[in-house]
Amino acid sequence: MNNYRQYPFEAQRVPSRKVDVWLPPGYAQETRRRYPVIYMHDGQNLFDPALSFSGVDWGIDPALRTLIEAGEIEAPIVVGIWNTENRLGEYMPEQPLAEPAARAEVDKFIHSFRDGMPFELAGDAYLAFLVEELKPWVDAEFRTRPGQADTHIIGSSMGGLISLYAVCRYPEVFCGAGCLSTAWHIGGAGHIPWFGAHLPDPETHRLYFDMGGRENVWPKANRTLLRKQAEVDALARQAGYRDGENLLTIVFPKDKHHETYWRARVYGTFRFLLK
């Protein structure tokens, strides 16, 4: 049975939303124990298939229980932040859009491929909400280890973009970023150089990336996303990240852009960030 509870959260910087908090087995009994925290985007997709917009959830509860019981990871608290109708705007890194190439790609995506989708640029406001509003509440209400070394952030697609942006903008807050099927096709020409110039200190941070070989989210997406992920990997190595130590990128040739595949792959994300 899922060990999570849903909370309505009144936000100031972005629209208010629901937040799910998953507590690990033994939390109620081990009253002196404190836990690392993982913040995850698209909260409604994490625990209950009836709430997920694809009808498939990430299976976070069984994944963590399996890994904890096997002794593969340290038990964390997971905070699932629900998205809003402005998901695209909240998960869009803002500073890279100062580059004309990035802004042009984003505008093309919004006004042609996703015409009519709500969009108000709010990536910086969303991260400020996480860091200045939500995290203090989580740390006050639950037995967390609030330091940077024990705070991680995970998302898929656009959630991957904003997770990497989070560790770049707030390196003193977040240690690890888990970026699954990152949406490099949205503003990638400008986003990628910006990230390359702003990656946090590899001695105190950890980056997990993965990608499916059949993403199919954009014309020529498979080749484009794989190529752009390789560019990001190269920039991370140039910045001092070491494969298998603080940088891990895995390509799953048969995987598509869907919760079904993220559900299977998140085990590896947790192993790498919580090792």
- For residue range 149-173, list pLDDT tens digits in order: 999 999 999 999 999 999 999 999 9
Could you tell me the strand order of the sheet in which 4-9 lies? 4-9, 17-22, 77-81, 37-40, 151-156, 176-180, 206-214, 247-256
Give pLDDT, residue 217: 75
- The answer to whether the beta carbons of residues 232 and 185 sit under 8 Å apart is no
Write down the H helix ranges in the chain: 60-69, 87-90, 100-108, 123-129, 135-141, 158-169, 188-198, 221-238, 259-273
Give pLDDT, residue 275: 86
Check whether 186 has a pLDDT greater than 70.
yes
The CATH number linked to 219 is 3.40.50.1820
Instruction: State the Cα–Cα distance between residues 160 and 241, nearest whole angstrom.
Output: 18
- For residue range 25-46, list pLDDT tens digits in order: 999 999 999 999 999 999 999 9
- For residue range 56-110, list pLDDT tens digits in order: 999 999 999 999 999 999 999 999 999 999 999 999 999 998 878 778 778 877 7
* Residue, of 100 and 271, whose pLDDT is higher: 271
> What is the total count of domains within the chain?
1
- Please give the average per-residue pLDDT across 133-152, as a whole number: 98
pTM, 2 dp: 0.96
What is the average pLDDT value for the chain, to the nearest integer?
Answer: 93
- Please give the average per-residue pLDDT across 130-159, as a whole number: 98
Check whether 199 has a pLDDT greater than 90.
yes
Instruction: State the Cα–Cα distance between residues 206 and 89, nearest whole angstrom.
Output: 26
Reported confidence tier of residue 191, pLDDT bands at 50, 70, 90: confident
Instruction: Domain of residue 28: give its range.
Output: 4-273
Reported confidence tier of residue 116, pLDDT bands at 50, 70, 90: low
Give pLDDT, residue 223: 84
